[in-house]
Amino acid sequence: MKTFSLLTVLFLFASPLAATAAGAPQSDADCAALIERWATDPKAAPKQVINDCKDQLAQAAALPVAAAPARIAAVDPCAGPGAADSVLCWGPWASVAPAAGFTEDPSQQPIPDREICDARTGQCQPLLAAVPPEPPLGSCTPGTPCGFATIVSGTAFTDDAEDTAFGRFDMAPDSTRFSIAPESGGENIESVAMTTYADGPGYIRASGSEGDILSYLNASMEQDGEGQALIASDLWAHGTLESARSGRFAWGVATSQAGLDTLNAGNVSLNFAGAMGVDPATVGSMTIAFGTNPTWTGSWTNPAYSFGAGGTVSGADLISQPGQFTSNVNAAQSFVQGALVGEQGGPRGIAHIIDVTVEGQGRIKDIGLLREVIGTSVINP
């Protein structure tokens, strides 16, 4: 016996056009019901079918029939002996609407939106709305400072991936303090008050001490007219000589909601590129396609490896989707998280972290602030 798809079964049982096609045999009960419907809805059946039904009922009036079943069927065609063969009696399909419309049956339970149903058991898988994945390090609120950092023991700033942790990074706009909230929890890393120094165009250094505790920041930075930081990235260190920790950071002010709304309304694509912080030999490139459902794609290229990823954009947050990693990435053990920072007309970038397991390379953890590639913004079709 052939197995029909649910769509085929629904069509055969639920289509009024199939049931009332010219020449299709109709029971007397069906004809009576069709004529009654046709009187108020001329589209209920083709005119030829109605004429045939009228002729059929006229002939049937002259034949002896069982009165009781006929009277019941005239009121309820599904109560008569021909109910099983009637197109008006749905049987197991009572909760399924015909293609021509639906008359609510108060005796039926509400039916949720469904994606796949098994006609034999009535079991269905609910149709679920797509929900963006939760960013592993938490969300960045539009219009507020947002950043990420790597954390290693000692003052070398980098270490093996297994000995590198991530955290959320924040700093004062005048660069005199910074703080890091480790992803693993525990006590935050809080710098002491620091004094800043210009270290060439676009660079600052900041350092300070309280007793034997030292704090240090070195940053490639873009500032506004009042010397307040807009986007920044590079090195940090904090602690005593015996218990110091250090790492890399990428930071900025997340794009405001008004700025995000303008980008999405314009259906534009923005491109970003730059060297990563832990391994500067790795160059990252990312594109955000704004619109009703904004998305991003990216690639990271190193002399020893390369991989790609993609995902969703929610507010200022960028988060990878497992199914959009290239085939050389163990997607179940990998993620990319970032945030769009800066505003139109000013410095703009993507502060982000990568934690990926690449075939032939093992686990890779890195951080970067990719700068906007000016002159490559395009309007999406």
Question: pLDDT value at position 9?
Answer: 31
* Residue 232, pLDDT above cutoff 80: yes
Decide if pLDDT at 124 tops 60. Answer: yes
pLDDT in tens, 21-35: 445 556 777 777 777
Per-residue pLDDT tens digits for 42-57: 777 787 777 787 777 6
Say which DSSP state 133 is in.
P
Q: Is the pLDDT of residue 226 over 70?
A: yes
Please determine, for residue 240, whether its predicted confidence score (pLDDT) is greater than 90. Answer: yes
> In this model, does residue 214 exceed pLDDT 80?
yes
DSSP state of 87: T
Q: What is the mean pLDDT of the chain?
A: 81
Please give the Cα distance from 362 to 112 (Å, whole number).
Answer: 45
Between 271 and 39, residue with greater pLDDT: 271
pLDDT number for residue 269: 96
Cβ atoms of 77 and 89 closer than 8 Å: yes
Grouping H, G, I as helix, E, B as strand and the rest as coil, residue 145 is strand
Domains, the chain, ordered by start? 6-126 (no CATH), 145-243 (no CATH), 257-379 (2.40.160)
Please check the confidence at residue 126 and state whether its pLDDT lies above 60: no
Distant-in-sequence, close-in-space partners of 325: CB < 8 Å, separation ≥ 6: 307, 308, 309, 310, 331, 334, 356
Question: Interhelix angle for 47-60 vs 28-40, to 10°?
Answer: 130
Q: What is the structure's pLDDT at 56?
A: 73
The pLDDT of residue 362 is above 70: yes
